Structures are given as structure tokens and as C-alpha cells.
Amino acid sequence: MQHSGALRNILERPNEVGVGEAYLRNDFDIDGDVETVVSYAAELKDSVYSLTQKLAIANMVRRLPQSSTFYPSTRKKALTGERHSIARDRQAVTHHYDVPTPFYQLFLDRQMVYSCGYFVSADDDLDTAQRQKLDYLCRKLRLQAGERVLDIGCGWGSLLLYAAAHYGVNATGITLSQPQADWGNARIATSGWRHRARILVQDYREMKLASDYDAVVSVGMFEHVGEENLPCYFRTAFDCLRPGGRFLNHGISQGRPQEQRQGPSFSDTYVFPDGELVPISTALATAERAGFEIRDVESLREHYALTLRHWVRNLEANCCEAVRHTDEETYRVWRLFMAGGAHAFTAGTMNVHQSLLVRPDETGRSPLPLTRSDWYLPNECGVSH
């Protein structure tokens, strides 16, 4: 504890946000494995106390010293407008992704992939796992040279570049973050693949639907859509595809059932405002109603826990640089939320699924191979196909 009133600050709001804010204010610091601390906090949160015990704790808290210092947060975001409207979603995305790109470079892999890697072995390093994930996505979509690909929520363009360079596709990505688009397009220009890849600042609901893409992919954007907008989201992807086209949706899902949360989570408040997780069953049912045929669903839950641990270690190793690019509070927000995510994926309260969907052709056929064997053939990542 950093001062006499710290313990009272924590115990007066013994929920996820209250304890998180105590860490952000430096009421206490964490030296060592932050994920272990998050795990202990989760166990305490789930503890059941009798009325007598609760009254005793309340009396104890009232006797503790108070802190008179107020620490205004720089990371809280009050969004305006209708929830999940285009304007409000743009505010939410801007809040998260317009943090300076050099900050993200401190903990992500060299290709700047901001979603879970694909670990053939738990000993894989982060760069290897993310290359494997990019290639795995391309193989699942069975991309062929000359095909047109749309990436909804493309981030800094890592998948666009990989698919253009190694599979010969023509790739368009959309994002709501102007700094992401600027950085990604600059990288595309210097890579020599400008004729095959581009990033646009656009909401998926603003797209002109022409049914001329061979494949659509969305990685790590789905959890920002909101349940009420899922029909529009899946219908947009469906309408973008030609008959026989493939859609790979990679997104975080609600994990095993747990006690109803009281109030917003730490992530809702400081990291992903308006983020909304749904069970994978809800997502798949909505996709089917939009016209898709479900061809494959895979959980990568353990892969995300491994990825987040890499990110936390990288961020901690670059603590001083992270604070220089942002501030102490932002560093602490990302450290805590990523460690919390690693715990949630390990415990199963969050999951992440890749769902391969197909728009059947006029005869009802989905022109895919009979088996998945081509997904798992040895492949030299970095060799053009």
C-alpha cells in the first residue's frame, strides 16, 4: 500500500472497477506476476459472506484512515449518442485505437497483429505465433491469387499485407481509426504492395454492397458490434460476397456462465467502452438467419491466454518507454486489462472463436473441399504461393 488511506479506498469499492482504479491511482503497486494478483482478486470477489461478516467488515472499513487526495482519470471516456450508432462507435474506437502507435509497437509483434496468435507449441515466440495465425486465416479462407478480399476492422493492415504478399489477393481493409489507417497505408506503400492492398476509414454499415468479394474476414472487431447490430453485421458480410464466397469471423465470445456482473467492468470503463460479448451460439444463429451456412467453428481460447502473457511481459519490459509515449495511467490500464484477459481466457469466462461461414451459390452448394486437411499442411510462412 502506498499511503494510509489506500486500504480504505479499495475496501469501500471492492468490485472490479474500484480495485482497478485503486491500482491506477497508485494506492497500491504490483511487483511481480500481475496475472496471479488478478486471479486472487477474482477469488475474493466470488467469496460469499454472511450478513454478520459483512457488517464486521463495514465497521472495520469505517475505522480505517481516509485519503483526501483526488486523482482525476485521463482514460475514462464518456460516450455520447445512441449506443452502437455509427457516430458513437467511432468515438469508442477512437478512444482505444488512437493511443500513439509507438505505444502498441512496444508489446505487439513485428507485424502489429492486435489479436490472438496461433501457437503450434506453447514455446513459440510471439512473432512466430502471429505469422502462423495470419497464414492459418488465409488457409482457412482458401485464398487464391487474384481474389478480392475485404477485411472488416483491419487495424494496422497486417492481414491485408500478408494476404497480398503471400497469396496474391487484392485486399481492402476498413477501420474507424484514422491514425491506424494512416500508419497502415504508409506501411503498405513502403512494402511495395500498394497495387494490391489499401485501408479505408469507413464503418461496415457505410459500405456500398456489390456482392463481388471472394472472401470477407473480420478479426477482433466482432466484440464491438453489439448484439442488436449482429443481424446488420452478418447481412453486410453476406451481401458483400459473391455466391460461394467465404466469411471468416474471428471474435471474442462470452465464456462459461457466471454470476451477473453488477455495473460496468474495468474494460468497459477504461479500455473498450461499449464492448459487448455474446455466446457463440447467438452469433452463429444470427449468421444463419442472414443466409450463411456454418462450415467450421474453432475455439482458440488457450491461444489468447498465451498471447496476452507475451503482451504483458513485453509491456512491462518497456515500461519507461510506454509511459514516455503515453502516461503512467495508460501503462497501468493496459497492464491490468491484458493480465485480466489472460486470467479470463484461462478460467473460461471468455472465449475466442473462429467461425468459417459460406454464402451458398444458387444451387445451394458451398464449393469447399471435403476435408480440412489443407489447413494443416506444412507451410513456410513468408514464401509466396
Chain segment 40-65, per-residue pLDDT in tens: 666 656 655 666 766 666 666 666 56
Q: 42-56, 106-120, 245-259: which has the highest mean pLDDT?
A: 106-120
Q: Which residue type sits at 262?
A: Q
Strand 148-152 relative to strand 213-219, pairing: parallel
Q: Residues of 41-76 as b/e, b for ≥16 C-beta within 10 angstroms? A: beeeeeeeeeeeeeeeeeeeeeebeebeeeeeeebe
CATH assignment, 86-375: 3.40.50.150
DSSP 297-356: EEE-HHHHHHHHHHHHHHHHHTHHHHHHHS-HHHHHHHHHHHHHHHHHHHHTSEEEEEEE
DSSP H/E element including 179: helix 178-191
Between 6 and 268, where is the model more confident?
Answer: 268
Quick check: 258 pLDDT over 70?
A: no
Instruction: Specify the range with the lowest mean pLDDT, choosing from 61-70, 162-171, 337-346.
Output: 61-70
CB 244 within 8 A of CB 357: no
Quote the pLDDT of residue 319.
Answer: 96
The answer to which of 55-64, 94-103, 292-301 has the lowest mean pLDDT is: 55-64
Q: What is the mean pLDDT of residues 67-74?
A: 59
Quickly state the pLDDT bin for 274 (edges 50, 70, 90). Answer: confident
DSSP, res 366 = -
Give the model's pLDDT for residue 3. Answer: 47
pLDDT score recorded for residue 384: 43
* Higher pLDDT among residues 333 and 36, named by residue: 333
Q: Which pLDDT tens digit goes with each residue over 183-241? A: 999 999 999 899 999 999 999 999 877 779 999 999 999 999 999 999 999 999 999 99
pLDDT, residue 257, reads: 74
How much is the pLDDT for 46?
60
Averaged pLDDT for residues 30-34: 84
Q: Supply the DSSP symbol for 123.
A: T
Give me the pLDDT at residue 78, please. Answer: 77
Helix (H, G, I), strand (E, B) or coil at 296: strand
Lowest mean pLDDT among 118-132, 248-262, 355-369: 248-262
Can you read off the three cell numbers belonging to residue 61?
472499513
Secondary structure class of 34 (helix, strand, coil)? helix
- pLDDT band at residue 310, thresholds of 50, 70 and 90? very high
Looking at the predicted structure, is the pLDDT value of residue 380 above 50? Answer: no
Looking at the chain, the whole-number percentage of residues with pLDDT higher than 90 is 63
The helix/strand/coil state of 199 is strand
pTM of the model: 0.88
> Residue 272 has what pLDDT?
86
Q: What is the pLDDT at residue 71?
A: 59
Is 299's pLDDT higher than 80? yes
Query: Which whole number is the average pLDDT over 373-383?
Result: 65
pLDDT at 354: 98
For the chain, the average pLDDT equals 87
- Range(s) for CATH 3.40.50.150 in the chain? 86-375
Position 381 confidence tier, pLDDT thresholds 50, 70, 90? very low
> In the prediction, which pLDDT does 383 show?
41
